[in-house]
């Protein structure tokens, strides 16, 4: 961490002068063959703030695969139909080992690591993939991996890694952001009582990690088999039916504490932090997809005798989406580093990635509709699929005010002696 | 991913620190960096020259330049490391950046070797200062609309006209200038590029008083200034091409707008009491802080991505183009909000009343310039839209017309010089 804590001061000249044709700043670092120095700018010792070539290859493969097997049409089919997710796609990505990317090999995973999972998350987000990856992998598998007993890990992780079983995380109990004071569900003598909503993929999941209070009032995480007696599930209507959400009612359902017992709210927050980083990659992918879509449309749609992309009102709008997306991508990369190395900075990195990515995807998805004009408001155009997903993702593990507040909380802690 | 110096980088960093510890004073507060940017008087200029000579002697004045030109054939990464380290010391800045960053590299490209020997090393050692004479009253964002005339007279050219926003013209020894030599040609085709002695007969420099009250820039008037043809850079009519080389070299120089940043507004919010308690506890304050934090970090990590691409020998992506587009308006917002926090006394600049020696108030007054200098917010968004996203260029109604037939408005008329 020798760079990150240091202010990088460029020698910014105060040349108060501007010009019309300026590829210079935009293409910033492109080498100029006329200028020998450019050669020297391209040599140097490693600064390693990007994914490896192997992971870039994985990203390209994932992109190609999803372009074919998870076009927007796939999300639309789930949105419009009765299916709760795309089972065929789920099987395919399971077989390719994506689900187990960050699960250690001893628990049936591929052991590629978190950077690999981040790369895949970005592509899944760009494709609006209608599959329960975030619930099963970013949340349930992570909870079990970091909080479960060895027996629990052995029992569940191999099945989750292969997609044979699907997990989810049940936290919310109606209105409100994550807060231990809002948890009313209770576990007594191994029996869970309470109501959770919305639970992402609540109708699909086989097992849930449920946040509930123990007899002593302390918050803990509990494993609940959702196929067992005492569990009723009811579909919830949401703004984005391409992802399933349900109300789960537990009436004396069997529950076993995750790991040795009540790990407290800190474990819940730590879980949310890690999920925030992975979801940020989905959001960055979504934002980029919106930018690409809007750009293509702006080039093809003519008005007043010109492509609408030649009007500055549209150009500046798309430039702003680009800026927000690049900032979000860079913040997400820092999150990837933090989760991969389990860095002390993870809580700050996670909140920053979450705030930045939420802003980017929400902005990109609504301005994508705006760029499309009336066409963007039709059911037939795909714009609304991204718009729905962007909003849903911005809420799913806590809305922006929650994460902004958490970010500042963590920064205050950082400065304390 | 990691942020560690490689062995080579660490060794270079240690070498830089040793040099700085021996030759400069470590700064005690961030504000000193800001103060150090401006050279107010002859004494400041003398200190800047001394410092530059010492840097050149030690081989740190132009790290990426080849050794035969007085550089050390170092890498871009080493230049970054040097900048990072130097930022911690109180040293004069803002005098040589334009000459070494833009003027001399243009000389290296278009001058002859004999001239390199004559101008490069004195510039590097701080013995001769260069300025860049580009912008004009009627040619800002539209630089190619410049009107300063150069007319051939025997072996000389005779220059008449006016330049503006010229940093450092009042203490510069030499300047590079782009002029119009053929008003009958379309605007980009009738330009020719020269360098000249700023003490030539017929040059008059007038300081511009900015809204900040400071005078960093000048107007420069040319009345029958004679320049030998041997001081022409590039062919007659190729001035636009040469100008682009100069601007290309600005790429390393465009950094973040200097001034109060996230850490400063964060510290201010922690130290100030609002009517309902500490400012840092106020949710509206926290939300704004979070937004600025993610922008600041997003820019920092975007630079890391650029550096990574460089050090891997790849051509960096266009993401480097967003820095100034984000940081200048962020500076203006932070400056304004820092004053909002002080309530009714926010406008007071007396250092005993205003927090942080009125840094926020000062920044409010110079921030508008940062959004214009080196490419306005609007031009930067055009560049991103056209060069990065590939959207169509603006329709240019003046592109193919002879320059002297272009329409001009009342605000474009040449001012009496």
The CATH number of whichever domain residue B46 belongs to comes to 1.10.540
Partners of B77 on chain A (C-beta within 8 Å) are: 44-45, 47
Give the C-alpha separation, A45 to A81, whole Å: 54
Q: Quick one: tokens of A238?
A: 């949401």
Is B117 a member of any domain? no
- Please tell me which of the candidates B3, B310, B385 has its beta carbon nearest to residue A41: B310
What CATH architecture is A168-264?
Beta Barrel (2.40)
Chain B contact set for A320 (CB, 8 A): 381
The whole-angstrom separation of Cα A337 and Cα A51 is: 10
SS3 state of residue A251: strand
Query: Is there a single domain that holds both residue B73 and residue B149?
Result: no
Domain that holds residue B240: 130-252
- The dihedral built from the CA positions of residue A393, A395, A398 and A404, taken in this order, carries a sign that is positive
B11 in contact with A, Cβ within 8 Å: no
* Contact residues for B284 (Cβ-Cβ < 8 A; gap 6+): none
Selected residue with higher pLDDT from A344 and B32: A344
B281 touches chain A (CB under 8 A): no
Q: Reply yes or no on whether the pLDDT at A34 is more than 70.
A: no
Per-residue pLDDT band for B415 (boundaries 50, 70, 90) equals very low
Last residue of a domain, one of B252, B282, B316: B252
Specify the number of domains making up chain B. 3
Identity of the residue in A24, A330, A411 whose CB atom sits nearest the CB atom of B301: A330
User: Are B243 and B250 in contact, with CB atoms under 8 Å apart?
Assistant: no
Distance CA A351, CA A356 (A): 8
- How many pairs of residues across A and B have Cβ atoms under 8 Å apart? 388
> Nearest-CA distance from A352 to chain B in Å?
6
CB contact under 8 A, A315 and B386: yes
In angstroms, rounded to a whole number, what is the distance separating the alpha carbons of residues B22 and A115? 42
CA distance to partner chain A, nearest, from residue B343 (Å): 22
CATH number (1.10.540.10, 1.10.3720.10, 3.30.70.1560, 3.40.50.1860) of A53-166 reads 1.10.540.10
Provide mean pLDDT across the span A203-221. 95
Same domain, B307 and B357: yes
| Same domain membership, residue B300 and residue B237 | no
| Structure-block tokens of residue B11 | 């060794």
Whether residue B232 is found in the same domain as residue B320: no
Q: CB A22 to CB B294 under 8 A?
A: no
In a domain, B197, yes or no: yes
B266 and B242 belong to one structural domain: no
Indicate if the pLDDT at residue A15 is higher than 70: no
Query: How far B154 CA lies from chain A's nearest CA (Å)?
Result: 31
Report the pLDDT averaged over residues B266-274.
Answer: 92
Which position has the token pair 């921030």?
B367
Contact flag B302-A326 (C-beta cutoff 8 Å): yes
Q: CA end-to-end span of chain A, whole Å?
A: 19
Name the B residues in 293-352 with CB < 8 Å from any A CB. 293-295, 297-313, 315-316, 318-322, 324-326
Partners of residue B188 in chain A, C-beta under 8 Å: 21
DSSP SS3 for B264: helix
Q: Could you write out the DSSP letters of every residue in A118-176?
A: HHHHHHHHHTT--S-HIIIIIIIIHHHHHHS-HHHHHHHHHHHHTTSS-EEEE--BSSS
H helices present in B371-414, as ranges: 377-383
Q: Residues spanned by CATH 1.20.140.10 within chain A?
A: 266-414
C-alpha to C-alpha distance for A354 and A346, rounded to whole angstroms: 12
Same domain for B272 and B248, yes or no, is: no
Q: How much is the ipTM here?
A: 0.89
The CATH number of domain A266-414, selected from 3.60.70.12, 3.30.360.10, 1.20.140.10, 3.40.50.1980: 1.20.140.10
Give the closest of A50, A312, A327 to B295, CB-based: A327
pLDDT of the residue at B327: 93
Under DSSP, is residue A381 helix (H, G, I), strand (E, B) or coil? coil
The tokens describing B210, both together, are: 């900015």
Position A46 scores a pLDDT of 44
Number of other residues whose CB lies within 10 A of the CB of residue A60: 12
The Cα–Cα gap between B357 and A245 comes to 54
pLDDT band at B407 (very low <50, low <70, confident <90, very high): confident
Cα–Cα distance measured from residue A352 to residue B24, given in angstroms and rounded to the nearest whole number: 36
Give the Cα separation of B377 and B371 in Å (integer).
Answer: 6
In a domain, residue B171? The reply is: yes
pTM of the model: 0.89
Most distant CA atoms of chain A, gap in Å: 77
Given a contact cutoff of 8 angstroms between Cβ atoms, the answer to whether B343 and B354 are in contact is no
The 3-state DSSP composition of chain B as helix, strand, coil percent (nearest 5) reads: 50, 15, 35
Residues of chain A with C-beta less than 8 angstroms from the C-beta of B86: 9
Testing the interface with B: which of A323, A410, A415 to mutate, by most B Cβ within 10 A? A323
Q: Is the pLDDT of residue B125 over 80?
A: yes
Number of Cβ atoms within 10 Å of the Cβ of B414: 13
Q: Do A327 and B394 touch (CB under 8 A)?
A: no
How confident is the model at residue A243, as a pLDDT? 96
Can you give the CATH number for the domain in which B220 is found? Answer: 2.40.110.10
Report if residue B412 sits inside a domain: no
For residues B78 and A185, the model is more confident at A185
Q: Taking 60 as the threshold, does the pLDDT of residue B360 lie above it?
A: yes
CATH number of the domain encompassing residue B346: 1.20.140.10
Are both B80 and B183 inside the same structural domain?
no
8 A C-beta contact, residue A405 and residue A397: no
Q: Are residues B66 and B134 in the same domain?
A: no
- Find the residue in B nearest to A291 (Cα): B389
In degrees, rounded to 5, the angle at the alpha carbon of residue A344 between the alpha carbons of residues A343 and A347 is 95
**Per the structure block, which two tokens stand in for A48?**
């390693």
CA–CA distance, B175 with B231 (Å, rounded to integer): 11
Residue with tokens 């949401």: A238
d(CA A333, CA A350): 10
* B399 close contact with A: CB closer than 8 A: no
């Amino acid at each position: 961490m020798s760079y990150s804590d240091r202010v990088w001061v460029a020698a910014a000249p105060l040349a108060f002068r501007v010009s019309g044709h300026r590829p210079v700043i935009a293409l910033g670092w492109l080498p100029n063959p006329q200028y020998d120095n450019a050669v020297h700018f391209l040599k140097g010792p490693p600064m390693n703030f990007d994914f490896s070539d192997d992971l870039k290859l994985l990203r390209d493969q994932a992109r190609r695969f999803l372009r074919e097997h998870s076009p927007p049409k796939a999300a639309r089919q789930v949105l419009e139909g009765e299916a709760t997710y795309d089972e065929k796609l789920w099987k395919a990505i399971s077989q390719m080992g994506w689900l187990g990317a960050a699960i250690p090999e001893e628990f049936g995973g591929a052991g590629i690591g978190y950077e690999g999972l981040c790369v895949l998350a970005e592509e899944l987000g760009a494709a609006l993939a209608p599959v329960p990856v975030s619930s099963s992998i970013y949340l349930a598998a992570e909870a079990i991996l970091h909080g479960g007993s060895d027996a629990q890990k052995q029992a569940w992780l191999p099945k989750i890694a292969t997609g044979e079983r699907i997990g989810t995380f049940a936290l919310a109990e109606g209105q409100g952001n994550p807060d231990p004071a809002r948890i009313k569900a209770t576990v007594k003598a191994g029996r869970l009582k309470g109501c959770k909503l919305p639970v992402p993929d609540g109708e699909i999941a086989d097992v849930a990690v449920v946040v509930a209070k123990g007899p002593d009032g302390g918050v803990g995480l509990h494993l609940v088999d959702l196929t067992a007696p005492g569990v009723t599930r009811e579909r919830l209507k949401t703004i984005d039916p391409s992802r399933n959400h349900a109300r789960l009612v537990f009436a004396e359902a069997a529950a076993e504490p995750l790991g040795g017992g009540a790990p407290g709210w800190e474990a819940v927050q730590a879980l949310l932090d890690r999920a925030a980083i992975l979801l940020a990659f989905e959001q960055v992918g979504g934002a980029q997809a919106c930018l690409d879509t809007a750009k293509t449309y702006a080039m093809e749609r003519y008005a007043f005798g010109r492509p609408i992309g030649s009007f500055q009102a549209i150009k500046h709008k798309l430039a702003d989406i680009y800026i927000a997306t690049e900032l979000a991508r860079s913040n997400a990369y820092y999150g990837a580093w933090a989760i991969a190395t389990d860095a002390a900075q993870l809580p700050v990195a996670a909140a920053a990635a979450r705030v930045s990515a939420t802003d980017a995807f929400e902005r990109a998805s609504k301005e994508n509709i705006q760029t499309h004009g009336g066409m963007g408001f039709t059911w037939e155009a795909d714009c609304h699929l991204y718009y729905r997903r962007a909003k849903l993702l911005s809420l799913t593990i806590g809305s922006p005010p929650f994460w902004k507040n958490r970010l500042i909380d963590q920064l205050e802690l950082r400065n304390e002696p | 991913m990691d942020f560690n110096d490689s062995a080579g980088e660490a060794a270079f960093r240690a070498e830089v620190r040793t040099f700085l510890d021996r030759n400069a004073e470590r700064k005690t507060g961030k504000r000193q960096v800001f103060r150090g940017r401006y050279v107010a008087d002859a004494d400041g200029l003398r200190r800047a020259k001394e410092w530059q000579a010492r840097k050149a002697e030690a081989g740190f004045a132009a790290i990426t330049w080849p050794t035969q030109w007085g550089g050390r054939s170092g890498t871009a990464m080493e230049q970054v490391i040097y900048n990072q380290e130097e930022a911690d010391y109180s040293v004069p800045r803002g005098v040589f950046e334009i000459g070494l960053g833009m003027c001399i590299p243009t000389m290296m490209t278009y001058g002859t070797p004999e001239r390199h020997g004559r101008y490069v090393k004195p510039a590097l050692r701080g013995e001769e200062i260069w300025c860049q004479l580009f912008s004009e009253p009627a040619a800002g964002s539209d630089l190619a609309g410049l009107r300063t005339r150069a007319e051939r007279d025997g072996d000389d050219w005779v220059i008449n006209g006016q330049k503006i926003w010229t940093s450092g013209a009042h203490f510069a020894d030499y300047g590079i200038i782009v002029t119009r030599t053929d008003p009958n040609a379309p605007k980009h085709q009738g330009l020719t590029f020269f360098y000249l002695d700023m003490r030539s007969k017929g040059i008059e420099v007038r300081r511009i008083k900015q809204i900040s009250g400071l005078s960093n820039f000048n107007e420069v008037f040319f009345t029958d200034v004679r320049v030998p043809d041997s001081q022409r850079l590039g062919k007659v009519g190729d001035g636009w091409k040469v100008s682009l080389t100069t601007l290309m070299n600005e790429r390393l120089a465009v950094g973040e707008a200097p001034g109060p940043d996230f850490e400063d507004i964060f510290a201010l919010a922690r130290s100030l009491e609002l009517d309902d308690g500490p400012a840092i506890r106020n949710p509206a304050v926290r939300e704004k802080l979070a937004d600025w934090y993610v922008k600041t970090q997003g820019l920092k990590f975007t630079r890391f991505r650029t550096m990574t691409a460089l050090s891997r020998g790849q051509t960096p992506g266009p993401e480097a183009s967003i820095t100034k587009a984000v940081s200048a308006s962020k500076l203006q917002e932070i400056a304004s909000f820092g004053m909002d926090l002080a309530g009714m006394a926010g406008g007071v600049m007396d250092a005993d009343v205003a927090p942080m020696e009125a840094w926020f108030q000062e920044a409010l007054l110079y921030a508008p310039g940062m959004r214009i200098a080196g490419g306005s917010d609007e031009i930067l968004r055009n560049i991103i839209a056209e060069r990065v996203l590939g959207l169509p260029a603006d329709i240019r109604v003046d592109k193919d017309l002879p320059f002297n037939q272009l329409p001009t408005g009342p605000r474009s008329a040449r001012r009496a010089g």
